[in-house]
Amino acid sequence: MSRAISIITDRVRERVQRDGVDLSLNRHLADRYVRDEVKLYSERALGGSLPLLADEASATNEVLATLTGFGVLQPYLDDPEIEEIWINEPSRVFVARHGVAELLDLTLTEGQVRDLVERMLQSSGRRVDLSSPFVDASLPDGSRLHVVIPDITRAHFAVNIRKFSRRIRTLQHLVELDSVPHRAAEFLRMCVLSGQNILVSGATQSGKTTMLGALLSVARATDRVVTVEETFELSVPSRDAVAMQCRGESLEGTGEVSLRRLIKEALRMRPDRLVVGEVREAEALDLLIALNSGIPGMCSIHANGPREALSKLCTLPLLAGKNIDSSFVLPTVAGCVDLVVHCELGRSGKRRVVEIIAPSGQVNGATIETSSIFATRGGVLQPTGGYPTKLSKFHTHGFDPASVLAGAR
């Protein structure tokens, strides 16, 4: 921060304290205060006692970002081309643009990083300290914040901000971005409308949450959707929707609300569709029980492929306790999951769907039998000629998958 910006920022803060206002609640008032002080500073600088401002508009934006936004990171948060920002140490700040990482020519101080983290956590009600060295939180715009502090990290705060994208909200947007072809998108729309249980798999940053949101965009407007997540990420277009997120324990070690608890509570809320942002641990058991109760559901899972995703979903419920075994889990997964959509982040930064499979409902030994419905050939996602074998939901809702898949080779 330059000396000029520092002086203007301090003067605005003095005025705020004197007037007893909160600029974070009133953007127009903040803008007026900053513009007034920038103008006064420029007038004084013309007298030669202060350094001149090279650009008043730029100075105004920088002071506003410092006072009401997130300082030097705010321009990157405002840039729609940037998907993620992370700080490994004060002198190593990275962004991902179109899926490709780049090191910024930006150096912070330890104090600036700490101040940024404190400001970001302010609106979330969450904390990070020696007793709780990790934190996940949502920023006001819906972006997800993850922070790890020393001594878990070697010496510096590790900060990740995964931005909330407003550009990709529907399946049609994914078609336009060439992430999924029109034919596959039409099949997925049919699956959502017929109440199929859909598992979205892929590696980190492959677009799983974006795909979940896009699938929800084609659900019926009258559906009551209940979402449960570790931190809020999903945007639900339904007019009848409830979103819930986990809560960490308090300083006294009480008050924690887990994903398992949220899934159980969601079942009491009359959902027409249950969406779990991501399953990682024993909550997979509660998800299977929910899906087995006849409620259409969706969730995402980290996996290297769609069949690996099914295998993982068969393993995670075993973490719930010794009384859970594979003789229950395997047939339950086979019977509950209707579709697996696998997403991939390519080396070029392009995200796309690379395979769609449909479990048959049958188990062969320790393997769930599946049909490949769409697969990537020559870099293009194409129908394989395979068909879903579980057709009752399609027929109940008046759909015929052959109308989309017929003629495939």
CA–CA separation, 278 vs 283, rounded Å? Answer: 9
Q: Residue 257: what pLDDT?
A: 94
pTM: 0.82
CATH number for 71-165 (one of 3.40.50.300, 3.40.50.1000, 3.30.450.90, 2.60.40.10): it is: 3.30.450.90
Count the alpha carbons within 13 Å of 104 in the hemisphere toward its beta carbon: 22
Is 144 in contact with 165 (CB distance < 8 Å)? no
Q: Residue 408: what pLDDT?
A: 58
Q: Could you state, in order of their start, the residue ranges of all structural domains in the chain?
A: 1-68, 71-165, 171-405
Measure Cα distances from 210 to 80, 168, 266, 353 in Å.
15, 7, 22, 11
Q: Residue 167: what pLDDT?
A: 65
Count the alpha carbons within 13 Å of 357 in the hemisphere toward its beta carbon: 21
CA–CA separation, 196 vs 388, rounded Å? Answer: 11
CA angle 145, 2, 140 (to 5 degrees): 20
**pLDDT tens-digit series, residues 303-360:** 999 999 999 999 999 999 888 988 899 999 999 999 999 999 998 889 999 999 999 9
Q: Residue 238: what pLDDT?
A: 79
CATH superfamily, domain 171-405, is: P-loop containing nucleotide triphosphate hydrolases (3.40.50.300)
Q: Residue 75: what pLDDT?
A: 87
CA angle 30, 118, 131 (to 5 degrees): 165
Q: Residue 20: what pLDDT?
A: 81
**Two structure tokens written together for 204:** 């980190």
Q: Residue 93: what pLDDT?
A: 97
pLDDT 10s digit of each residue in the chain, 409 long?
A: 678 888 998 898 888 888 887 776 677 888 898 999 999 999 888 877 788 888 888 888 888 877 777 888 988 998 989 999 999 999 999 999 988 999 999 999 999 899 899 888 887 778 898 888 999 988 888 889 999 999 999 999 999 999 876 667 899 999 999 999 999 999 999 999 999 999 999 999 899 999 999 999 999 989 999 999 998 888 887 789 999 999 888 777 788 899 999 999 999 999 999 999 999 999 999 999 999 988 999 999 999 999 999 999 999 999 998 889 888 999 999 999 999 999 999 988 899 999 999 999 999 988 999 999 999 999 999 999 999 999 999 999 999 999 999 865 5
Please indicate whether the domains covering 71-165 and 171-405 agree at the CATH topology level: no
Alpha helices in 195-270 (DSSP H): 208-216, 259-266
The letter for the amino acid at 74 is: Q
Strand ranges for 169-296 from DSSP E: 198-202, 224-229, 240-245, 273-276
